[in-house]
Amino acid sequence: MRSRPRFPMPGRLVLAALFFWASAGALGAAGLFDNFSLRVSPGGLFNLGGSYTDTQKFRDIVDLGGGLNLGLRYEVSKNVYLEAACGYAIMTVKSGQKPYAFRHGSSYFNMASATLNAALYLKSGYAIEPYFILGGGLYPWAFRSGIFGGRTWSAPSKPQAGLRDTSLGLNFGLGIEANILVHLSAVFEVRYTYLFSKNVARFGTNDFTQTDFLGVNLGVVYYFKRK
């Protein structure tokens, strides 16, 4: 039986964004989504801390990365929005830090996310509006040979276990939103993420610890009603 092709996670995110945009006019005209807005924000990702082994820091293993985030937001009030978001980020592993079995190819640290966040705007109704954002959720992550899949690394202290997990995470940040069109705003955001990646039972060591990241994102927000 011929298998159906599957889209990788970032492809699904892009398709979802295009679907929302294509239907925005009809939904807005019907007034069904007056309290909703859609955020699309690509950006860069930096590792800040955490240990990979007792002698190596997490940031010694990976280079700077990037990713894409999508968020569907609901306006609770003029100054408060709730957001259900998903994302996918990729960080390339440094060439000298790959395990022996992966030495001839590329390797990556991949991290998806599914979060619930709240944004608090300090001003409302202005051309430029600063805001705080905070939230948390689930972060599936893995060290792999491919950007969207491939072979998973073995855990350094427990070779029979793959170096992958789904961890809880918290995030908070600051942003600025600038109104550019009736329904469209540009956003610049800096967001911190703390990942509870330490799992002694799974990886067989205390040396692989929690880690954290700093994301810098530039994107747009589409409002289904006039901003």
Average pLDDT over residues 200-220: 93
Average pLDDT over residues 1-20: 55
Average pLDDT over residues 82-108: 91
* Contact criterion met (CB below 8 Å) for 50 and 26: no
This prediction has a pTM of 0.84
d(CA 21, CA 70): 12
d(CA 184, CA 213): 28
* Contact criterion met (CB below 8 Å) for 212 and 227: no
Query: Beta strand pairing status for 154-155 and 128-144?
Result: unpaired
* Contact criterion met (CB below 8 Å) for 188 and 44: no
Candidates 73, 69, 143; CA nearest to 113 is 69
pLDDT of residue 205: 87
The answer to whether residue 75 scores a pLDDT higher than 50 is yes
pLDDT of residue 5: 47
Average pLDDT over residues 60-76: 95
The answer to whether residue 112 scores a pLDDT higher than 90 is yes
Average pLDDT over residues 58-73: 95
pLDDT of residue 116: 98
Cα dihedral value 153, 156, 157, 163, nearest 10: -30
Q: Classify residue 178 by its DSSP letter.
A: E
The answer to whether residue 4 scores a pLDDT higher than 60 is no
Output the CATH code of domain 9-21+35-223.
2.40.160.20
State the number of CA atoms in the 13 A half-sphere of 208 facing the CB.
18
26-54 tens-digit pLDDT:
555 556 678 999 999 999 999 999 999 88
Average pLDDT over residues 154-167: 88
Q: Is the Cα torsion angle 50, 167, 144, 102 positive or negative in sign?
A: positive
Q: Domain coordinates of the chain in residue numbers?
A: 9-21+35-223
